[in-house]
Amino acid sequence: MQGYWMEREIREQPEVLGRSAEPYFTQLDELFAGKKFEMVLLAARGTSDHAALYARYLIEIHLGIPVSLAAPSVLTRYGTRVRYSNALAIGISQSGSAPDVSEMIAMMREEGHTTLAITNTEGSRLSNEADHTLLLGAGVEQSVAATKTYTSTLLAIYQLVRALGGDLPSPDAQLPEDRWVQSSLEAASESCGPLLRSNPSFALARGYSFCTAQETALKLMECALLPCKAYSTADFEHGPKALAGHGSAAIVYGETASGLAEQGCRILQAPQAPAPYELKPIWEIIFGQWLALSAARALGLDPDHPEHIRKVTETL
């Protein structure tokens, strides 16, 4: 069956998240309780970059310290070592093999900053470069598309912010269950046909859920070869909205941009997750994952074995 592993790994998420929440917090609390940083630097690529975007909102809102999303090329291509002040540098990579992310973390460690690797791969290069490592423990991910490692990373970030002193509720009993996975599949199946009949397509969200729009667009491109552009709902008003006429579609998480339906844009509303705003991205992306898998199958594509991309991508 096309996308066998991707479907299996989507369905594994409630179990993986449920068993991981407390161990993540326990380990991170032991490492960081009471420690203060003047800023956080995040280094990531691809899906992990979307998790970093989630981290930025959580950290800036709940810790009140600035966050910088690193541009690794500044170091790896141009050889410039930026001066940071008392930073926590976090490298995020499910495989732990991203050379540019690893080099950023190595540089930050050499400069005397505290470094943390968040990865699913024990003994990876990223782990070896960082002071501390949080292993996601999501199990082997066979599909090229990241699913359970992505939501596990979001949960790890949430628990990290709690460990650093963020006033956030425990995620216990507020994580997706099997019923949510199934209802998200049903919603995605209903949206698949309209999406396939639309061009162009957008993924829209704001705040905590902006990462979900970004990840949904990536999943549609890598799994179903469907061009999709993600925007902040606010930024969408500054020009791109002009493209959202008849024949277009917008996959919307949260509030819909004003006037879209009146312009003729087809609105594909993602299900509303029964969770606090800070935790919604862990729930919402399951719809995006199912939508990408459903579209791929409808087009006769196998997201487990795409033609032009690999599971581990290495860039410098």
Separation of CA 60 from chain center: 17
Please report, for residues 101, 136, 306, 312, the alpha-carbon distance to residue 95 in angstroms, rounded to integers and kept in the order given.
11, 11, 18, 7
pLDDT tens for 209-230 read 999 999 999 999 999 999 999 9
Q: Mean pLDDT check: name the lowest of 106-110, 240-244, 264-268, 277-281.
A: 240-244
Question: Does the pLDDT at position 176 exceed 90?
Answer: yes
- Quick one: average pLDDT of 289-299? 97
Do 156 and 194 touch, CB atoms closer than 8 A?
A: no
pLDDT, averaged across the chain: 93
CA 65-70-71 angle, to 5 degrees, is 150
Q: Which candidate, 60, 61, 42, places its Cα nearest to that of 50? A: 42
CB under 8 Å to 239, separation ≥6 — which residues? none
Q: What is the pLDDT of residue 9?
A: 98
Q: Judge whether residue 314 has pLDDT over 50.
A: no
The answer to whether residues 4 and 175 touch, using CB atoms and an 8 Å cutoff, is no
Cα distances (angstroms) measured from residue 154 to each of 1, 12, 24, 212, 287: 29, 15, 11, 11, 16
Neighbours of 128 (CB within 10 A): 13
For range 273-300, the mean pLDDT: 97
Q: Summarize pLDDT for 222-252 with one digit per residue, the tens.
A: 999 999 999 999 988 888 988 899 999 999 9
Could you report the per-residue pLDDT of 24-37, keeping only the tens digit for each?
A: 999 999 999 889 99
More reliable by pLDDT, 316 or 121: 121
* Per-residue confidence (pLDDT) for residue 130, from 0 to 100: 96
- The predicted structure's pLDDT at residue 310: 57
- Backbone torsions φ then ψ of 23, nearest 5 degrees: -60, -40
Amino acid at 142: Q
DSSP 256: P
Kindly list the structural domains of the chain, giving each domain's residue range(s) and its CATH number in brackets, ordered by start.
4-163 (3.40.50.10490), 178-298 (3.40.50.10490)
